[in-house]
Amino acid sequence: MNKEPLVVVGDILSHELGLDSSRIFLYNSTRELPKDNGLYLVLEIQGRPPYAVKHEYKVKTINNEQVYCEVTTMNVQETVYVSCVSKDNTARLRAYEVQLSMNSDFAIQQMFKYGFHISQISGVTDASALEASSRLNRYDCQITLLTAYEKVKPVEYYDTFKETETKFEA
């Protein structure tokens, strides 16, 4: 995958909710949150349990050369929380749109383009109490992504290995 799934989800939400990308934040980013009453979204990965790993050797094209490579692939189920936040009631009124966005034609196009899957059904939790005295309306929408990560690195053929000794001292 050549684009982080969390960023793709942000792109989908920006497109489908008609929000400027400046209203969408990745959790723990250094950008300052808006001070106005409007809606903004915060995206956070809560968990990433792997469910499959594959290790194989393939010939890959690297810099227009055929290279023998070790290819390791890991399939992962990522749990993403999209927090819809506003000082007025907009977050409460529009939280359902997060779920609808994940089932749109645009979302399906992005899934095909980047090779991952977004769950069609997700839950919404009223998390306004977490904001305490700031009196923000906050609704957390859980989205499940099924994606794969791949690591490719060239390896030497059996007859070209260089003998090296590795010493590990505890």
Is the confidence at residue 1, as pLDDT, over 80? no
Structural domain that includes position 19: 5-46+78-145
Q: Model pTM?
A: 0.82
The reply to whether 111 falls in a domain is: yes
Cα gap 116→100, rounded to integer Å: 18
CATH of the domain at 128: 3.30.2000
CA 150, 154, 159, 160 torsion: positive or negative?
negative
The reply to whether 15 falls in a domain is: yes
The reply to whether 90 falls in a domain is: yes
Tens digits of residue pLDDT in 53-104: 999 999 888 888 888 899 999 999 999 999 999 988 899 999 999 999 999 9
Is the confidence at residue 120, as pLDDT, over 90? no
The reply to whether 155 falls in a domain is: no
The lowest-confidence range among 29-33, 101-105, 141-145, 155-159 is 155-159
Cα gap 168→116, rounded to integer Å: 39
What average pLDDT does the chain have?
88
Tokens of 62: 């690297």
Distances, alpha carbon 142 to alpha carbons 9, 13, 43, 57, in Å: 12, 13, 10, 36
* DSSP per-residue codes, 58-100: EEEEETTEEEEEEEEEEEEEEEEEEEEEESSTHHHHHTHHHHH
DSSP letter (8 states) at residue 129: G
Number of domains in the chain: 1
